[in-house]
Amino acid sequence: MSYRISLQPGDHSFDAADGQTVLEAAHDAGLLLPHSCRDGACGACKGRIVQGSVDYGKYSAGALSAADQAEGYALFCCAKPLSDLVLEARNVTRAGDIPVRKLPSRVQKLQRLADDVMLLDLKLPASETFRFKAGQYIDILLADGQRRSFSIANAPHDASHIELHVRRIDGGRFTSHVFEGMKEKDILRIEGPLGSFWLREDSQRPIVMVAGGTGFAPIKSIVEHAVETGLQRPVTLYWGSRDRAGLYLDELARGWESRLPNLRYIPVLSDEKPGDAWDGRRGLVHQAVLDDFADLSGHEVYACGAPAMIDAARASFHTERGLPEGAFFADAFTFASPAN
H or E element, residue 150: strand 147-151
The sign of the CA dihedral 72, 74, 80, 85 is positive
pLDDT at position 166 is 97
pTM higher than 0.75, yes or no?
yes
Question: Which band of pLDDT confidence, cut at 50, 70 and 90, is reported for residue 320?
Answer: very high
Q: Determine the residue type at 97.
A: D
Beta strand 117-123 with 85-88: parallel, antiparallel or unpaired?
unpaired
Burial class for 11, CB neighbours closer than 10 Å (0-12, 13-18, 19+): exposed
Distance (Å, whole) CA 83 – CA 5: 9
Residues, the chain: 340
**pLDDT of 337 above 60:** no
Structure-derived torsion over alpha carbons of residues 242, 133, 153, 336, reported in degrees to the nearest 10? 60
| The architecture CATH gives domain 2-95 | Roll (3.10)
- In the chain, the amino acid numbered 325 is E
Cα–Cα distance, 285 to 201 (Å, whole number): 25
Please name the CATH architecture into which domain 98-194 falls.
Beta Barrel (2.40)
Choice between 14 and 210, residue whose per-residue pLDDT is larger? 210
Predicted confidence at residue 92, as pLDDT, reads 72
Q: In the chain, where are the structural domains located?
A: 2-95, 98-194, 207-332
CATH of domain 207-332: 3.40.50.80
Q: What is the DSSP code string of 2-52? A: EEEEEEESS--EEEEETT--HHHHHHHTTEE-S-SSSSSSS-TTEEEEEES
- Rg of the chain over Cα atoms, rounded to whole angstroms, equals 20
Domains 2-95 and 98-194 share a fold: no
DSSP letter, residue 181: T
- The 10s digit of each residue's pLDDT in 89-145 is 766 766 557 878 899 999 999 999 999 999 999 999 988 889 999 999 999 999 988
